[in-house]
Chains A and B, each alone.
Chain A
Amino acid sequence: METIRDQIIEIIRVASKPRKPDLSDETKSLFDVGLDSLDYASTIMELEEKYNLQIVEEDMDKLVSLKDMVTFVEARVGKS
């Protein structure tokens, strides 16, 4: 079954094409693996739409890694 983590990895993959960022729980910042501000903005927008969330500027400070995003989304929509 596809987990929230899988879904977020897919969102980042599409947003950051043609780069293929190495995504792991150890990555501290998505910007370190090649995402730029547009890739990041696209990722945030997709997260908002897919999980029906509102992500404000203050949230973004806490959403810099894959792990941050998974934790953030699971806390709001529950684990799957």
Chain B
Amino acid sequence: MPAPSLVEMPALSGFLARMAARGAAPAVISSASELSYADLLRASDQWIDRLQENGVGAGTVCGYIGQFSPETIALFVALMQLRAIAVPLTQNAEPDLGRFAEIAGIERLIRFDREGPTFSDFGITARNPLIEDFRRIGHPGLVVFTSGSTGSPKGILHDLERVLGKFANERPGWRTVLFLMMDHFGGVNTLLSMLANGGVAICVEQHSPEKVCRAIQQGRAELLPTTPTFLNMILASGAWRHHELSSLRLITYGTEPMPETTLRRIREVLPQAELKQTYGLSELGVLHSQSPDPGSLWLRIGGKGFETRVVEGMLHIRSASSMVGYLNAPNPIDADGWMNTGDLVEQKDGLIRFVGRASEVINVGGQKVFPMEVESVLLEARNVTEATVFGVRHPLLGQAVRALVSVAEPETEAALAERLKDHCRARLAKYKVPLRFDVAELEAHVSERAKKRRVGIETAGRQEA
């Protein structure tokens, strides 16, 4: 079946027309170069030629390994124009590349390294039935991966024409730091939103507090889509002190619950920036959110194409831009289009507040402990810069609460543990007080936190923009 023309894809054609109309306005900034929208479309046209020379066309599953840069962004736009199926990956994927390639059926792979991009033929012809059906539609596709409860990656296929439909109505364009990764749905969503609305994409070389703060300063960034953990790293590292961050007008955060302590501290440090909680899932897309009070964690979520409901304390969502499906797992969306997100919420006056993942609740002798509540208390303690609370199996209690903390100034572990126990005992019910405290350097802590959270996720990796 011939691929549909752009006329049959109003969302993609509208998106490209809006990009073309921006002309000489800046589109992408990196430490090495700056591209206007016209430059970006020219670079994309060059990619189209190169891709076609290498056998990439409509329906080809094309992986690429790198990070957000002017080149990878131009490649992504080219793949959409060719109606190929893009599989963006980062260096972190290298050890499991074979598995990712098999799940997605990657036929061509492009690696970006110091010498520039290189093509390789993977020799796999995608035979996944979902991809075969999708090819018949002829729309551009996107595959992202999420880790399931078993640790095995799940491939998620999106129809980019459907995803782009969300950006049909023009909104203000922001100078935006591309903080969320290229291989996450949240990262792709940020990029598409930014390009659709005439914003400027600011690429970062590394995700350290120093490098990101420098990118904000140099690119005069207005929007930073990030995570509570990274905001805490910015606070703990002191990177905010020696960079000019006054251009920031909006910080969006998601992917995990925000401790109230972190929210309060970041508002003190960056008072000019509005803080906005976002919510989305790789499977369903990113919802609009609105909070009546910027200092509150209560919010209303939804927006065009999204419906929400709460069933037994858990948030369910129905989305018009939901994924085509998992490539290697049963579909979690029911016959009526609803998906149980696995996120526990409280409700009040039509607003909701996230309290954690159902799978992360710790059951201590039949009593429930929400990690975020304990983490927030720990972050109020003197000298504590990061806290992760988790459950461990325990023969007597079923599960026991443990905590991993990072500190600004060194303390002996025994004295720290006693002090933190006292701190928690004064503020929490006894069964919520961690039985043991481990101490880790901040960077190791962040990596350990990601692992613990990933294990707890049953349905999907949540990525927001």
Residues of A bordering B, CB below 8 Å = 14-15, 17-18, 36-38, 40-42, 44-46, 49, 56-57, 60
Contacts and interface: CB of A to CB of B under 8 A. Distances in A.
A12 B433 CA distance: 16
A17 B433 CA distance: 12
Interface centre among B364, B396, B402, B430 (most CB of A within 10 A): B396
B421 A14 contact: yes
B421 A45 contact: no
A45 B436 contact: yes
A37 B421 contact: no
B368 interface: no
A37 B418 contact: no
Contacts of A38: 364, 397, 430-431, 433, 435
A42 B395 contact: no
B42 interface: no
Secondary structure of the A side of the interface? helix
B332 to A, nearest CB: 36
Q: Which 5 A-B pairs have the closest CB atoms?
A: A57-B395, A42-B435, A45-B436, A14-B418, A45-B435
Contacts of A44: 396
How many interface residues does chain B have, given as a range? 10 to 19
A57 B435 CA distance: 17
A7 to B, nearest CB: 10
B207 interface: no
9 contacts: A15-B435, A17-B422, A36-B430, A41-B435, A42-B435, A45-B400, A56-B395, A57-B395, A57-B396
Given A14-B417, A14-B421, A18-B425, A46 B436 contact: yes
B365 interface: yes
B396 A40 contact: yes
B127 interface: no
Contacts of A57: 395-396
Contacts of A40: 396
B451 interface: no
Nearest to A42: B435
Contact of A49 (B394, B397, B421, B436): B436
Contact of B421 (A17, A41, A56, A60): A17
Interface string B352-384: 000000000000110000000000000000000
Nearest to B435: A42
Nearest to A11: B414
A61 B430 CA distance: 24
Given A41-B396, A41-B435, A49-B436, 9 more contacts: A15-B435, A17-B421, A41-B400, A42-B435, A45-B394, A45-B400, A56-B395, A57-B396, A60-B396
Nearest to B430: A38
Given A14-B417, A42-B435, A37 B396 contact: yes
A76 B418 CA distance: 26
Secondary structure of the B side of the interface? mixed
B306 to A, nearest CB: 42
A19 to B, nearest CB: 11
B425 A17 contact: yes
Contacts of B433: 38
Nearest to B433: A38
A37 B397 contact: yes
Contact of A42 (B414, B422, B436): B436
A56 B394 CA distance: 9
Contacts of B395: 56-57, 60
A54 B402 CA distance: 17
Contacts of B418: 14, 17
Interface string B388-411: 000000111100101000000000
Given A14-B417, A14-B418, A46-B436, A41 B425 contact: no
Contacts of B430: 36, 38
Given A45-B436, A57-B395, A37 B365 contact: yes
B356 to A, nearest CB: 21
Contacts of B431: 38
Contacts of A17: 418, 421-422, 425
Contacts of A37: 365, 396-397
A51 B418 CA distance: 18
A68 B430 CA distance: 26
A46 B413 CA distance: 12
Contacts of B396: 37, 40-41, 44, 57, 60
Interface centre among B394, B433, B435 (most CB of A within 10 A): B435
Nearest to A56: B395
A62 to B, nearest CB: 13
A72 B25 CA distance: 74
Interface centre among B364, B395, B433 (most CB of A within 10 A): B395
Contacts of A18: 425
B417 to A, nearest CB: 7
